[in-house]
């Protein structure tokens, strides 16, 4: 899976956000990293993942998440 860094220039909330908006947000750090933070407490810290690790995580989720969820 390819990470489109041009699509992640701003914080983007997960499409699986709860009704109240509590979820994670992602943003491209640089060409090699993806930053992740908690949407309900955005100043509590950021986790940085390599683009390859993030892509593998998303690919694994797509294989294990039941359709419609």
Instruction: Return the pLDDT at 6.
Output: 54
pTM over cut 0.75: no
Tokens of 14: 């997960």
Condensed to tens digits (0 to 9), the pLDDT of residues 2-50 reads 455 555 678 888 776 666 667 888 888 777 888 898 888 888 888 999 9
CA 69, distance to chain mean position in Å, is 16
Q: How many CB atoms lie within 10 A of CB 12?
A: 13
């Amino acid at each position: 899976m390819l990470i489109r860094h041009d699509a992640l220039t701003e914080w983007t909330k997960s499409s699986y956000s709860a009704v109240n908006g509590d979820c994670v947000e992602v943003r491209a750090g640089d060409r090699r990293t993806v930053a992740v933070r908690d949407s309900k407490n955005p100043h509590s810290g950021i986790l940085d993942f390599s683009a390859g690790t993030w892509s593998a995580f998303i690919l694994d989720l797509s294989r294990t998440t039941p359709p419609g969820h």
